[in-house]
Structure 1
Amino acid sequence: MAFIALGINHKTASVDVRERVAFTPEQLVEALQQLCRITPSREAAILSTCNRSELYLEQDHPAADEVLAWLAGYHNLSLEELRACAYVHQDDDAVRHMMRVASGLDSMVLGEPQILGQMKSAYAVAREAGTVGPLLGRLFQATFSTAKTVRTDTAIGENPVSVAFAAVSLARQIFSDLHRSQALLIGAGETITLVARHLHEQGVKRIVVANRTLERASILAEEFGAHAVLLADMPQELVNSDIVISSTASQLPILGKGAVERALKQRRHKPIFMVDIAVPRDIEPEVGELDDVYLYTVDDLHEVVAENLKSRQGAAQAAEELVVAGVDDFMQRLRELAAVDVLRAYRQQAERLRDDELAKAQRMLQNGSAAEEVLAQLARGLTNKLLHAPSVQLKKLSADGRFDALAVAQELFALDEGPDKRSQ
């Protein structure tokens, strides 16, 4: 048995590579089933966000190279290109990595809370796909429990900080007074919801939410007193927007250089601040070449994020200690499960020997043997049968000089006196 955590993230791969390795929600079930069918993975889950794509696996024997080859083939990447930015964690390290990720310790913004919900979604999808079994299932539950403890027992989640918050902080640096600004938010998912909340708290004059479905945009808009439109209405809204923040699941850019160029002309080249949080990107990179446009991607938010990290470093150390405790507890429970299998097999063997001796005793009684004689024979036979295999193995271990194993046997059978005492 081996646990594997394999993937890429914002520390190891550029947004270019990350968007090519990202899985869409529609791909996940089929990808998981293919992964378990083609590679030696008995259980699997996939976490795919704007900052990371990770595979969590349970295998008979570690086969990370085969999984990397599958991942490269699935996304039409060269294996060399993927291997250059991928990481692989195994067993204890894989458990620790998952717990650190769920606790926000491996995020771009230290302690950000969204990742735990994303990991829970990854687990739910894997269950739907039928690729999570008892071992990976236990690991996910232990991971969620540790992350919850980190949130409850440390200050790592205080003062809400996220990529969404970082984007709004950057807007605040560029526009001295957000009360006079209008914002266009593209998408209506969790990240955009956070952006809308932060902008609303900063007193932005007008917020417009553009989405593929008007119903979802309207729900979000109603919460923050915003205006809902369809993506098709973006060109008109762009003209009046000082801030544009986009985060959708689209596989292709939905805002191109031409549309922004036309909006700038109508704005008389009044600047537009844009943040593209999506992976793959929603805004064509060429938009950044335009004068009067300040375009940032998630990778550009590092400096803003760094400022926010300072208040969380102390809490991070306490969180790391909780993760170590979580790993130790999980691995101990896992080792106990291994003992359960051995104990079950040993009990079944003992019960077979008991049943054999009991059958002999019953035949003796039927043949008229005295009850005392039958009971004595039953006791002798059962004792001899139960001790036979351990006795043979102990003699062999002793002949081979395996005194360490003899010491374990002494402990296993809870014997009061060791060999040295008995020989005196």
Structure 2
Amino acid sequence: MQIVLVGISHKQAPIEIRERIAFTLSKRRNAMQQLISEGIEEAVILSTCNRSEIIAATSQPEKCIQIILNYLNDYAGEDLSPYFIIKEGEKAMLHIFEVACGLDSIVIGEDQILGQVKEALEIAQEVGSGKKFLSKLIREAITFSKLMRTTYAFSENPLSIGSIGVKFIKERIGSLKTKKVLIIGTGKIGCLVLKYLLEEEVEEIYIANRTHSKINRILEDHESIRGVKYEDRYEALTDMDILITGTSSPHIVIKEEYMHKLNKPLAILDLAVPRDVDPNVEKSPLIQLFTVDDLQTIVDGHLQYRYCIAEKIRELIYDEVEKMSIWMLQSQVDPIIECINTWQKQIIKETLDQLSKNSSFEISEKEYLEQLMGTSIRRVMRNPIKQLKNLNEPNKIEEYGKIIKHLFTEGSRKK
């Protein structure tokens, strides 16, 4: 079994390309089901504002990669192959560990990605596409990431798209204490933005969401925040200094044709992928528009510390990937051992059937004989199975697999 990864990220493509293959929850589920139906053994899709990547476990890497490429290009409606990254084997595993640790994010070491990786695996397991190999790999990456965050005290100075976004806006327009801010979206990004705006002691914070009931829960916890009906968002913007959006909508939620009533400057930070804000709004001389890609310019003291330790973490990742490679290699003997186990059961059944023809046994006596024979055969096969599990050379595993299959299945049938 081989691990492959095909996808796109902020390192290869700007937001206008990435948003073409962003996956909503339902589309992720459908995509994984389709990939499995096309012969890929296991698949997990990670889709965030930074990346959309399909991770697969397969016995046919080249065929698998082509299936994924075809699917992504069909999904985008055009050929985006020049933007894709393709990784196989240990390089794919290394990438997954780096992503889980936040080393491949726009904001290095950011906190959200760990939860997103965990969620991606959980969704795949629900669909049935996240099985033995990808479950093991991604769980190991999550565990390692948690250890690194604790070891290097990331949690003492948490960074996320939300925190960096607020810092970015503050650097662009100055103190936020006298500003009026509208947040659109009450998901993870919106709530993180709200948290950090409150720390900045913003004068007035407004929040809008397509589902108003979600706003009510936030208003109950924060009396100073004001709710805005989603349909009134354009009218509310005429009095705002800042707009920050982070919805999961697949469509534009701020359209250019409704943005002509502004009477003062408005800074917009669009943290969504696909984008929430029509890029054409920037035609207005009163509007400054920023997207998640602009956050790469941010300078942060804690961020500099994370860059320094990133290479240390990468060195440790190499060790984890090597362990994972050995585990995957040794797992290839599982079908061989299953073949032996099937043979054992067959021998016991045939022997019991033969004995039953010549003698009459009580149920308890038959069960005892079955247990005795099973114990005896397992004792004989214990050392050979142990030796099989210690194999770490692909060619030997394949060679032994063919021999055992011949001896324990084809040989017994000929007999």
Secondary structure of the residue that 1:138 maps to in structure 2? helix
Letter in 2 for 1:14: P
Aligned pairs for 1:4-153 (under 5 A) are 4-38=4-38, 40-62=39-61, 63-78=64-79, 82-153=80-151
Aligned pairs for 1:328-339 (under 5 A) are 328-339=322-333
**Offset of 1:351 from its aligned partner?**
8.1
**Offset of 1:239 from its aligned partner?**
1.6
Whose Rg is larger? 1
> Structure 1 157/10 Cα, relative in aligned 2: closer, same or farther at 3 Å?
farther
Aligned pairs for 1:286-297 (under 5 A) are 286-297=280-291
Aligned pairs for 1:218-367 (under 5 A) are 218-224=216-222, 225-264=224-263, 270-304=264-298, 309-346=303-340
- Contact 1:146–1:322, Cα closer than 8 Å, also in 2: no
Number of equivalenced pairs:
365
1:253-288 Cα deviation digits (max 9, x unpaired): 111223322123xxxxx2111101111111110111
**Offset of 1:227 from its aligned partner?**
1.4
Aligned pairs for 1:387-398 (under 5 A) are none
> Structure 1 34/271 Cα, relative in aligned 2: closer, same or farther at 3 Å?
same
- Contact 1:2–1:90, Cα closer than 8 Å, also in 2: yes
**Offset of 1:248 from its aligned partner?**
0.8
> Structure 1 10/158 Cα, relative in aligned 2: closer, same or farther at 3 Å?
farther
Letter in 1 for 2:183: L
1:273-316 Cα deviation digits (max 9, x unpaired): 11011111111101112112111011122111577631212222
Letter in 2 for 1:245: I
1:321-364 Cα deviation digits (max 9, x unpaired): 33223222222222333344434545665787899999999xxx
1:90-112 Cα deviation digits (max 9, x unpaired): 12221211111111111100000
> Structure 1 65/347 Cα, relative in aligned 2: closer, same or farther at 3 Å?
closer
- Contact 2:97–2:317, Cα closer than 8 Å, also in 1: yes
For residue 199 of structure 1, the aligned residue among 193, 197, 200 is 197
Structure 1 Cα separation of the partners of residues 212 and 85 of structure 2: 40
TM-score by length of 1: 0.78
> Structure 1 358/245 Cα, relative in aligned 2: closer, same or farther at 3 Å?
closer
**Offset of 1:135 from its aligned partner?**
1.8
**Offset of 1:142 from its aligned partner?**
1.4
- Contact 2:271–2:291, Cα closer than 8 Å, also in 1: yes
Percentage identity across aligned positions? 31
Between 130-139 and 278-287, report the one with greater CA deviation: 130-139
**Offset of 1:50 from its aligned partner?**
1.3
Q: CA RMSD in A?
A: 3.1
Mark the runs of 5 or more structure 1 residues left unpaired by the alignment: 265-269, 362-381, 391-403, 410-424
Secondary structure of the residue that 1:28 maps to in structure 2? helix
**Offset of 1:219 from its aligned partner?**
2.1
TM-score by length of 2: 0.79
Letter in 1 for 2:86: V
Letter in 2 for 1:42: E
> Structure 1 192/16 Cα, relative in aligned 2: closer, same or farther at 3 Å?
same
